[in-house]
Amino acid sequence: MIRFQRIGRTNDPAFRIAVLEKERAAKAGSVVELLGTYNPRSKALTLNEEAVKGWIAKGAQPTDSIKNLLINKGILEGKKVNALPKKTPQKKDEPAPVAEPKPATAPTPEVGAPTESVGEEKPAS
């Protein structure tokens, strides 16, 4: 798998672009090959394009972020993918339908109409 490996100090991220086995964590350090570096603040990218194309030809799958970066640089062709986490709600073009209130089962008294109280007695006629 082709993925980022974070380097750099706190609050100043920089990333290595590395090939590792899918089951291995990027922090473990068991890198098969280093392909380049990326600094998101300065947008500086150093990349061995031939090695990237070779690994993809061998079956290595880039992560969504790497794939978007390679599409931006023109190394890969295709459509960008959503690299946001799954829990982020996607914005929809259509507004959500508003549920209509259900009618009440018991009729409600009209405003200003006399109501009967439990404790009152009706005058006899």
> What is the model's pLDDT at position 59?
92
Rounded distance between C-alpha atoms, residue 93 and residue 103, angstroms: 31
Of 83, 36, 81, 27, whose CA–CA distance to 55 is shortest?
36
> What is the model's pLDDT at position 122?
62
Task: Please report, for residues 60, 107, 117, the alpha-carbon distance to residue 68 in angstroms, rounded to integers and kept in the order given.
Answer: 15, 60, 72
> What is the model's pLDDT at position 25?
78
The pTM of the full predicted model, rounded to 2 decimals, is 0.62
Please report, in tens digits, the pLDDT of each residue of the chain (125 residues total): 999 999 989 999 999 999 998 887 777 778 889 999 999 999 999 999 999 999 999 999 999 999 999 999 888 888 988 887 777 566 666 655 666 666 666 666 666 656 665 655 666 66
> What is the model's pLDDT at position 56?
93
Q: Please give the CATH topology (third level) of the domain spanning 2-72.
A: S16 Ribosomal Protein; Chain: A; (3.30.1320)
